[in-house]
Amino acid sequence: MGPLNSIRPKTRLSNSNLLFMIAGIIFVLMYGFALISYPGSFMQFQTFFDLFNLNAALFIVTLGLCVVMIGGGIDISVGAVCGLVTMACAMLLESGVGNVWGALFLALGIGLAFGFMHGYLIAYLEIQPFIITLAGMFLAQGLLTTLHKEPLNVTMPAFVRLRNFTIEIPWLGTENRLGVFIPCEIKPGVIVVLVLVLLYAILMKWSRFGRNVYAVGGNPQSARMLGINVKKTIFFSYVICGLTAGISGFVFLMTTGAGNIGNGALFEMKAIASNVMGGILLNGGVGNLLGAPIGTMTLLTINELIRAAGVQSNLQAIVSGLLLYLFIVLQSIVMSLRGRSKFRLALPSWLKSQQPSGEKKAENQG
């Protein structure tokens, strides 16, 4: 009995962790292929950091949408809300009345307003999320074009200093043609991304709200029978998504320095694609929040590969769409195999993280 007791039982890898692991492997392979194919571009550390510097707003939008998608919902208004925030903040900063803090609070207020509105209509009036957020997208786009139709550059000195602020990494960098060492630089938006990833990961893994989101996404009826306030959970998931879209708009303004009616265009589609590539299922209940930034990096790496190959811009969307098909089919195959009793992928218990209750329930019902 002694030797038998010393053997630790193996536990099955959860769906969320399995899909996250697959997403991570795909990103590593994709970026490795880019390093081999185009070493002149991708071998530079700054190229990797620029994925975050230039696309911090997209990373943030993807995080907020990830929470909603795990809960079984969808929000296609986040891109338009992001664009509206950039223009509204730009107008406030250029008016001479507001300051940087005022613009930040305005961004948060606009995001929260859309989040509260969508959350209430979807959770308490039980209207389809796609219809409500489609209306929110049209509303935000209409307000955006009404506020200012022309690009508006922000010239306020305090904001310009914030936008130009960079954090140097002295031990990483490259030498230019003159032999001068140029350290890598990180923009403030990257710090915002890292902070939000940490906060949202803790929220979804260790808080009661996070467990409730998984349970509601897995099966709302079962979650209700377990005593979970389904409407409240759905409501706050959309509030978080709206708030995140507001933050994204302010970060977008810090990146571009101007309000424009094209800001945030197709962000909602890119965010959905990034989440799918990161292992988040569209029907909810399954997904790892850390998969959101992994999927975003995969999507951006694909776009950079296409650009480095000299492919025409109109073909980038085609290639991205085909790869998205591939990811969705791969997810379907993996989940189908997981439903068969003979298919088991086990890990030692010390490598196994706790599986969300909603996902356990979904697997048992499957």
Calpha distance 20→70 (Å, rounded)? 13
Give the confidence band of 249 by pLDDT, cuts at 50, 70, 90. very high
Is residue 6 predicted with pLDDT exceeding 50?
Answer: no
Is residue 1 predicted with pLDDT exceeding 60?
Answer: no
- Torsions phi, psi of 296, nearest 5? -65, -45
For 315-347, what is each residue's pLDDT tens digit?
777 877 888 888 888 888 877 776 664 444 444
Are the CB atoms for 287 and 279 separated by under 8 Å?
yes
The per-residue b/e assignment along 305-330, b for 16 or more CB within 10 angstroms, e otherwise, is bbeeeeeeeeeeeeebeebbeebeeb
Calpha distance 138→126 (Å, rounded)? 20
Q: What is the pLDDT of residue 8?
A: 53
Q: Check if CATH label 3.90.550 holds for domain 29-173+181-365.
A: no
For 276-317, what is each residue's pLDDT tens digit?
999 998 888 888 999 999 999 999 998 888 888 777 666 777
Pair type for strands 181-186 and 167-175: antiparallel
Give the confidence band of 46 by pLDDT, cuts at 50, 70, 90. confident
Calpha distance 39→294 (Å, rounded)? 21
* Angle subtended at Cα 296 by Cα 358 and Cα 268, rounded to the nearest 5 degrees: 80
Element (H, E) at 258: strand 258-259
Is residue 138 predicted with pLDDT exceeding 90?
Answer: yes
Q: What is the pLDDT of residue 350?
A: 45
Q: How far is CA 194 from CA 60, 233, 333, in A?
A: 9, 25, 32
Count CB neighbours of 345 within 10 A: 13
- With DSSP H G I counted as helix, E B as strand and the rest as coil, what are the percentages for the chain, rounded to 5? 70, 5, 25
Pair type for strands 10-12 and 181-186: unpaired
The per-residue b/e assignment along 85-123, b for 16 or more CB within 10 angstroms, e otherwise, is bbbbbbbbbbeeebebeebbbbbbebbbebbbbbbbbbb
For 198-224, what is each residue's pLDDT tens digit?
999 999 999 999 999 999 999 999 999
